[in-house]
Amino acid sequence: MAKKGYQADRRKFLAGMGMAGAAALTAPALNAVASESNVKWGEEHEVVIIGSGFTGLAAAIEAKKLGAKDVVVYDKMPYFGGNSTFNGGLFAVPNSPLQKEKGVKDSPETMTADQMKAGRGVAYEDLLLHVAKHANEALQMTLDAGSEYFPYLQQLGGHSVPRTYQTTVACGAGIIQPLVNQCKKLGVKLVSRAKFDSLVFDEKGTVIGAKILTGHYYDRGVEGTEVNVRAQRGVLIATGGFARNVELRKAQDPTLTEEVPSTNPPSATGEALLEMFRVGAVPVHMAHIQTGPWASPDEDGFGYVSNYSIYNFAHSISVYIKTGKRFMNEIADRKTRSDAQLACRDDKGNPLPPITITSYEHAKEHPTLKKVLKYGVGWKFDSIEEVAAHYKIPLEPLKAQVEEYNGYVKSGVDEQFGKPMAKAEGKYLQAPFVVVRNWPKVHYCQGGAQIDVDAHVIDSNTWKPIPGLYAGGEVTGGMHGVSRLGSCSIPDCMVMGMTAARTMMKS
């Protein structure tokens, strides 16, 4: 099979499919799928996992704990962790030990309600509630592996209470590295530079393995050597989203052009997702692609500004450079803020990234500030006049805005945009200031393959599970609806990875 032509044809088919694509997937699609009768097996494993992020590693650890003797995890990159490594390390957990310590009242139902609201009512409530009810188990898995978190909770945009943990390294690597080490201790086989190609079915339509390209070098154009891997209990697809596949995301949302960068690494291109669609999986919410309003146009990928902004938005103001005025609630849900930022343009219609102004006194509370200043992606100013002059902002409106906002800090009521002011209590905007620029980056794809609460992939032909095929995390759709709340990807990925392992081990 010619790899390049095959992949291109598949992308062309799916790119035009959009949200109504399920109807286009019919039973004959399986005729093109490799079947047991003409496969020469190169390897055989009890549990086969594709992708080494939060979902894949959690599944591997859980499978081992449940008695699996032979678990393998494949990743096409030269390192393990995928996009999860670049994640912000923010982990939402209801009824967590830290909430109980701080006296915060919360519940899985409350967290689910917050997510349903952000998802504009079209998120899958059963999946959300399942994840929320098991989030503490996922947190404990990371703690058992050696992850470390700050001793405080954050209340991110759209959350009704503080429920978010933050790793002490302020990124997902603080979870991924311990999980990788735990996998090694448990005897999980971890294979890098191994790209998933396609699924293998038996004559009854059950997934019994996968074709893997070993020795894959994505950055050199080397596809690798084909190896057919037999899976005794099933195959878990845990490969993440397609944020780096510009053509695929533009097919769903034409506004997400090259003008909007991504926080994701080069690996987030969605081939495994497209393969699942090709064999009959149901496409869900493919047009719901989230951008991160805390990202910076002054650094690549997720960067340092992202976590800095997430922490500081609650007691900062975001200002449109042309007017010197605020233009949004700084801790609204991500879509609301990203849409507002993308509307910030110059007179010719070009992007004009807004700035976020924070008092240095409060900005320095977050550990990433040192790197923000060190690497020149944020700047310190001694007066509001310096800020205005540097960014060519009209001074008087800016001064008036700062004064007006400080009045809201005093009263506890934001009369401009209704931002909850509890986290801003006593935190007036006063010199010296730290300023960063913000511009959305494609961060998370809410769309993907439909699954049930047991992590089975659903077949568009029968509306029943595709036997032997499981998925979890960003490669799936429906969990978050229109907009995902920040810090909810880690519980989603880890819980569904653990769920997939539990389902497989019962098979």
Which residues participate in catalysis according to the annotation? Answer: 334
Closest CA to 392 of 325, 321, 326, 296: 321
- The per-type count for the chain, helices as H runs and strands as E runs, is 16, 22
DSSP 8-21: HHHHHHHHTTGGGG
Q: Is 217 helix (H, G, I), strand (E, B) or coil?
A: strand
Q: Are 184 and 174 in contact (CB under 8 A)?
A: no
* Whole-Å CA distances, 456 to 142, 223, 239, 333, 344: 24, 29, 15, 30, 42
Q: Which two structure tokens, joined as six digits, stand for 8?
A: 């291109």
Cβ contacts of 101 within 8 Å, gap of 6 or more: none
The closest of 253, 210, 213, 262 to 233, measured between CA atoms, is 210
Residue with tokens 């007006």: 404
Alpha carbons 206 and 217: distance in angstroms, whole number: 30
Residue type, 151: P
- Residue 21 · residue 286 · CB < 8 Å: yes
